Amino acid sequence: MNTHTPVLYQEVLDLLRPQANGRYLDGTLGAGGHTAGILDASAPDGRVLGFYRDPEAIAFARQKLASYGNRVTFVNDSYARMRQIAPKHGFDQPNGILLDLGLSSRQLDQGERGFSFRQPGPLDMRFDQTQGETAADLLNNRTEAELAEIFWRYGEEKQSRKYARLIVANRPLTTTTQLADLIAGTAFQSSRRRRIHPATQIFQALRIAVNHELEAVETGVPAAIDLLKPGGRLAVISFHSLEDRFVKRLFRQLSQGCTCPPEQPVCTCGGQATLRLITRKAVQATPEEIEVNPRSRSARLRVVEKNAL
């Protein structure tokens, strides 16, 4: 296994249970690792519709998946738009949907993409480099208050205001190294001693803001539930507590059914559960997986099945 091996690979396949002749949707195709597993498990005629936002990464995935021929279809769009797009490709009621959120190890390892504070590069961070604001645009043009809000909300960074002030005083910033050094140079002693780099949360917050990742989750997960065939399963892997919290709450709420007070003898609300929880608690990577792929440490997998109403 190497760092490009998909996170929670076997767990996803065991819980999604791809079958021959099934239709599956991979909302975050990335390097195509999970999709390859789904295609193998659904051989000889299962099909995957894969969404991607990174035209650079897709060349790699296409090559990797070439041997599956027309069993896989590539869509250059956000998974948040799956409800509009999937039916056009004959995937109106897929048997399973996977969302493996965040960025891929491959993207992180490419210094020139600007995702990593460990590698020199431009402050870009866009999944799709053909459109939208870069991290540098955001850092150099937003107000101090707006930056502090981004760091606090998406990075859960306790020193958000201090770092926002520091950045505004040192603008313009154009490279990952400039930003990482600026943060590291003023981080409290306590956080300097931490195992993680003090700029970790700032980089994470910027990436999430640049790519509107939380908005995609908030639109895409309900869309996936709507689209799924009754009896079909949805698997979501989150790496960020904000995303995981949203997924957990939505899954719980939709698996509740009747919401009448417990002391009421007869149900009057008529509520029916849309979903059945397949994982009561989030599935996490084993110590063995974390050893070979440290990024898997923060992965949380939650799976639901859509009820037939």
Ligand X SMILES: C[S@@+](CC[C@H](N)C(=O)[O-])C[C@H]1O[C@@H](n2cnc3c(N)ncnc32)[C@H](O)[C@@H]1O
| 107/274 with CB nearer ligand X | 107
Residues of this chain that interact with ligand X (CB under 6 A) are: 6, 27-28, 30-34, 51-54, 57, 78-80, 100, 102-104, 107, 127, 216
- 3-state SS of 120-156 is CCECCCCCCCCCCCCHHHHHHHCCHHHHHHHHHHHHC
Nearer to ligand X, 32 or 46 (CB): 32
Q: Which is nearer to ligand X, 79 or 203 (CB)?
A: 79
Minimum CB separation of residue 62 from ligand X in Å reads: 13
Closest residue to ligand X: CB criterion:
30
Give the β-pairing of 233-238 and 275-277: unpaired
Q: How far is the CB of 294 from ligand X (least distance, A)?
A: 14
| CB 36, min distance to ligand X, A | 8
Minimum CB–partner distance for residue 28 and ligand X (Å): 3
Let me know if 249 is exposed, middle or buried by CB neighbors in 10 A (0-12, 13-18, 19+).
Answer: exposed
Backbone region of residue 277 per phi and psi (left: phi > 0; alpha: psi in -120 to 50; beta: other values):
beta
Take residue 47 and report the two structure tokens written for it: 């099909």
The DSSP call for residue 308 is P
Least separation in angstroms between residue 212's CB and ligand X is 8
Furthest CA-CA distance within the chain? 65
User: Is residue 166 helix, strand or coil?
Assistant: helix
- In angstroms, what is the minimal distance from the CB of 96 to ligand X? 14
Cβ-based nearer residue to ligand X, 51 or 151 = 51
Return d(Cα 39, Cα 234) in angstroms, integer.
16
Q: Which residues pair with 48 in a beta bridge?
A: 24, 72
CB of 129 or CB of 178, closer to ligand X:
129
In the complex with ligand X, the residue whose CB is nearer, 79 or 117, is 79
